[in-house]
Structure 1
Amino acid sequence: MLIGVSSYEKVKMRRTAVRLLLFLVLPVLGGCAVLPDNSNRSVTTTYTSVSNPVVDNIYANAPRKGDNISGFLLLDNGLDAFVARAVLAQIAERSIDTQYYMIHGDAVGSLFVDQLLQAANRGVRVRVLLDDINEGDRDFDIAIFDMHPNIEVRIFNPFGRNVGRLWQYVTGFGRQTRWAHNKSFTIDGKATILGGRNIGDEYFSHNPELDFQDLDVLAIGPVARETSDAFDRYWNHELSYPASVLFNENIDRAEAEERKKRFEKRIASLTQSPYLQRLKNSDLARKMRDGKVHFEWGPGRVYVDPPDKLLHKVGDRSYQMFTDLLPYLRNAREEIIIFSPYFVPGKEGVAFLAALRKKGVRVKILTNSLSSTDVSIVHAGYSRYRKDLLRAGVELWELNKGLGKNKLPQIRC
């Protein structure tokens, strides 16, 4: 998260492949992608002064007070990560704002959507913001979901629907190849979940053979408000298209009803899933509902790349949150911990970390090994810097596939 200078390295590696692809496919592709007029989208913002008895009670009894003091709870396993989102949805009074890179249609994705529907059915306003990279074949289902009077779905940086996506990848390189990876789930502007998990089985420990070791944090207080402000900036941006505008198709009511029935049957088939059982019986669920969760209290800030980033050139650091993080890194006095699945520091990053080590700052990095990564080309970009990092005194760890989280091997020269 902190040394996120891997994007430029990844872009360079992709450019060669894209240029070759461009040479091969240009003769057989044609047409221009067209997006509908988005100028009449409505502007909506987070509700303020919402009373949420559960969250308000926890915050009122916090052991530490202050304008910048928030409460934090680490969600380090998939079951609790689902439970936390579900309970927040159930205690939401007026609003749920959720933004994800992807929401799958698998077991976890279906249960997640069902929690949003239940909240909307009791009058909660639900705003869902998605990146378009993995949602193109689900337009009809999204359109049906968006038809609920208390739900609105918007798609950030969408593809045109009149031309194939491959063509848009080629001609839109630098824009269509840049995605919104923001992941947040916020209720009433007062409680939020931030972290690395998208919504899908592989992010919530559904299958041990495909289990992304992500982390989330549940936070209440000013951090939640800052998250809401960031969500509003993306939600109201010119690149966020309402589903009702983007999916310009007549919804077949009979087919819509049939798909709703199939979804209800799927939810009924999941009543004995470990996620719903955990939601009923776990200590976390009970403590969240009763307002008795033990939070760690302290100052916190939320940093987000501005949505305007996609309107400017790749590598323009004035539109990267790295610029905001850099002073914290430069002024570190004792320790920096970097936890990133895709870590490609580049020569500049290696030199920066080496300079910190010379000042006596302890630097620890945890990233994927070749056996655990899902993007081998990123690992190839990272591995070329391992020896230089180690020689500089950086403590470099890799997650080894098949080892428990307390058995991470340290890399040595």
Structure 2
Amino acid sequence: MSFFVRLSLVLALLLAGGCASLSQQQRDQAQGIAVAARSTEVNCDRADRCALDSPLRALGGQAMAESTAQAPRHYATILDEGELSLVARLNLIRSATRSVDLQTYIFDTDDSARMVIDELLAAAARGVKVRVLIDQLSAISDVHMLSALSGAHANFELRVYNPTFGKAKLNYLDYAGSVLCCFRRFNQRMHNKLLVIDDVLGVVGGRNYQDDYYDWDREYNFRDRDVIVAGPEVREMAANFQAFWVARRSVPAERLNDVGKALLRGGVPALPEASFLHPERIEWVDEEAADPDFINQAFVATALPVQSVSYVADLPRKHRRERAEEPLAGQHLTEPRLDALIASAQSEVLLQTPYLVLSKPAQKLFKNLRKRDQPPRVVVSTNSLAATDNPIVYALSYKYKRRNLRELGFNIYEYKPFPLDAPIDYRQLLPPALDGLPPVPERNRMIGGSAAGSNVRGSGSGRKPSVNGSEVERDVLRTETRPSFLGTRAVNRPLPVTRKGARMGLHAKSMVVDRRIAVIGTHNFDPRSENYNTEGAVIIDDPRFAEALAQSILRDVHPDNSWVVAPRQKPPVLSGLNYSIGKASEALPVLDFWPWRYATDYEFKPGPDCPQPLRRQDPGFHACYSAVGDFPEVDVGPKWLLVRMLTAFGAGLVPIL
């Protein structure tokens, strides 16, 4: 048998494995089973659906009451701390009187996600209309769980966006088949994250539904950010959700092939018992979410009245192929708005993104800024290799450090894996026997400084104890890139580091322009967000709110939390030759092996002559900073070589990373 015949048979098997599906009649039958099993019992007969009396929900009502068509009124609260963001979500769901719409990219079944699922089902049982829309690639893939949720309650609906081969759970053949038959469609994901309560309160930001977004993982957590918006603009969020809900690619869970087969085979199963890893933590957060005084202090007292709010988000039509003469008509909505904001900058752009990979249009945008007589200062907060959840993407950021610094003029700060002053309660992450810390006088006290205008708890220097307190509690697929056709497991994982402890990686997607316009959303400012994913963001034109967000980002770039990327000191001889060869090597799509890179990471060394951090352009920079290497705190090993290899060969991956 020839090679080509064997290859054809393999391809046929792959596609056959991926495309096996239920008939239309079987899908209808499976859906009928789910609908018939749904409880119609409502355990509340009050007009407010027995909603929790919440000061946060009341803020939404206040904003609507104060608004007119000519003068809308909005309040906004920055959610910097992960656990508090979970508390806010739980409280909002409990306070819903009419509807809850939840849209997300990742939805796990761990402690935090299960708490949210239980609250959503409880709201449905009170009579609230609950709709949940999850992306197929990275959300719940447990067929038993999806089958149970599909028939849980008449007021609860669950849909899955863009299910590859109409399935919830993919295997190796599915991943391989997707590359062979429909690579672009497979990569077109719904990256939006949105929670809308009664069309008056909305939560937008980077957080998915998984423990590491809420500071609940003892190995690795995301430094992320959300914003709560109260006021009329939330109706635009609701309208955008509705557009996704009715889109052709949004499929009811019970109509998926594997879920439908399970329903046809055994009916609707009981919801799996909740098995919480840390019940004491569940109890703590449950109490906070029900405490009106705590909710008022954490979210209402920190809310800012803001002048202008707009929600901009892509629509499902971004994933359509339009006619050749109108290739992008009305498809891309988020990216042009953000680009226009950057282009309007006069003095400063603060940009925070976990993945610093720029498309050609983005490069052109920043080059045009750089050409001005007085270009605005561009500060970029992003991940180091030791902090990132996606080393493959970092390799492309590393490859173009020279361009980003010299040609685009970026001031780049790379987030440390063990930040000393992050908005997180470190006691949550360390086993009590190992933390070596005195008892906490208040249960809600946090070690760490506070950012003006946000709801970060407590105050202080935030020095993190250097102890061996890490423990891997479960094997988590952390990267949003998720598995590839190479296998069903994640090919990207945080790399081993030189110290033990619960580390962090940056995941926030935010921007401040001229300390006047603030952006918090899901857009990573990268080619994948531009070309493949649908995204959403809240844009707030208000100096006070913008300054609060700016201070939050500047906290992340402080020497306690980030390294500075800066040019190396010039060698005494052949510095020009080294630069020229490095620049030429960088331009090569392959074989970029030149080892002496233009820039590296630096650590601030305070002292009598260096009382304050300096910008990299300051003449005294090298006297106050010491080089710590290209990949500080990474445990050098085989995966470190992967970064070097991708630097050499990975330029072609930019459009999909």
Task: Work out whether the TM-score is over 0.5.
Answer: yes
Counterparts of 1:304-383 in structure 2, within 5 Å, are 304-312=313-321, 318=329, 319-320=331-332, 321-359=334-372, 360-383=375-398
Note if 1:245 corresponds to 2:249.
no
2:90 corresponding residue in structure 1: 86
Note if 1:99 corresponds to 2:122.
no
Amino acid at match of 1:142: L
Change beyond 3 A, Cα 1:120–1:255? closer
Amino acid at match of 1:235: W
Q: Give 1:156 shift.
A: 0.6
User: Which whole-Å CA distance do the structure 2 matches of 1:125 and 1:227 have between them?
Assistant: 16
Contact 2:76/2:227 (CA < 8 Å) preserved in 1?
A: yes
Note if 1:117 corresponds to 2:127.
no
2:158 corresponding residue in structure 1: 153
Q: Give 1:118 shift.
A: 1.4
Within the candidate set 188, 191, 215, 2:201 is matched to 191
Change beyond 3 A, Cα 1:272–1:96? closer
User: Which whole-Å CA distance do the structure 2 matches of 1:35 and 1:223 have between them?
Assistant: 41
Deviates more, 1:324-333 or 1:71-80: 324-333
Amino acid at match of 1:156: Y
1:229 corresponding residue in structure 2: 239
Query: 3-state SS of the aligned residue for 1:301?
Result: strand
Counterparts of 1:72-83 in structure 2, within 5 Å, are 72-83=76-87
User: Which whole-Å CA distance do the structure 1 matches of 2:163 and 2:313 have between them?
Assistant: 20
1:410 corresponding residue in structure 2: 564
Contact 2:60/2:231 (CA < 8 Å) preserved in 1?
A: no
User: Relative contact order, CA 8 A, sep 6+: which one is greater?
Assistant: 1
User: Which whole-Å CA distance do the structure 2 matches of 1:335 and 1:64 have between them?
Assistant: 33
Render the CA deviation track for 1:39-84: whole Å, top value 9, x for unaligned. 999xxxxxxxx99971454316869995454221000011110011
**What is the RMSD of the two structures over their aligned residues, measured on CA atoms?**
3.4
Query: 3-state SS of the aligned residue for 2:248?
Result: coil
Note if 1:213 corresponds to 2:226.
no
Q: Give 1:175 shift.
A: 0.5
Query: 3-state SS of the aligned residue for 1:411?
Result: strand
Deviates more, 1:182-191 or 1:31-40: 31-40
1:26 corresponding residue in structure 2: 11
Contact 1:364/1:396 (CA < 8 Å) preserved in 2?
A: yes
User: Which whole-Å CA distance do the structure 2 matches of 1:126 and 1:56 have between them?
Assistant: 19
Change beyond 3 A, Cα 1:122–1:169? same
Q: Give 1:277 shift.
A: 4.0
Note if 1:297 corresponds to 2:306.
yes
Amino acid at match of 2:311: V
Render the CA deviation track for 1:326-358: whole Å, top value 9, x for unaligned. 322222222222211122114543332132133
Q: Give 1:271 shift.
A: 6.9
Contact 2:87/2:289 (CA < 8 Å) preserved in 1?
A: yes
User: Which whole-Å CA distance do the structure 2 matches of 1:271 and 1:410 have between them?
Assistant: 36
Instruction: Provide TM-score, normalisation by structure 2.
Output: 0.52
1:401 corresponding residue in structure 2: 417
Note if 1:202 corresponds to 2:179.
no
Structure having the larger proportion of residues in helix:
1
Change beyond 3 A, Cα 1:283–1:67? same
Change beyond 3 A, Cα 1:270–1:36? farther
Within the candidate set 275, 278, 292, 2:285 is matched to 275
Contact 2:112/2:210 (CA < 8 Å) preserved in 1?
A: yes
Change beyond 3 A, Cα 1:122–1:144? same
1:134 corresponding residue in structure 2: 138
Which has more radius of gyration?
2
Query: 3-state SS of the aligned residue for 1:193?
Result: strand
Contact 2:207/2:225 (CA < 8 Å) preserved in 1?
A: yes
User: Which whole-Å CA distance do the structure 2 matches of 1:387 and 1:398 have between them?
Assistant: 15
Residues paired across the two proteins, number: 378
2:638 corresponding residue in structure 1: none
User: Which whole-Å CA distance do the structure 1 matches of 2:83 and 2:212 have between them?
Assistant: 12
Change beyond 3 A, Cα 1:180–1:255? closer
Q: Give 1:395 shift.
A: 1.5
Contact 2:108/2:140 (CA < 8 Å) preserved in 1?
A: no
Identity %: 26
Instruction: Provide TM-score, normalisation by structure 1.
Output: 0.81
Change beyond 3 A, Cα 1:304–1:57? closer
Contact 2:60/2:230 (CA < 8 Å) preserved in 1?
A: no
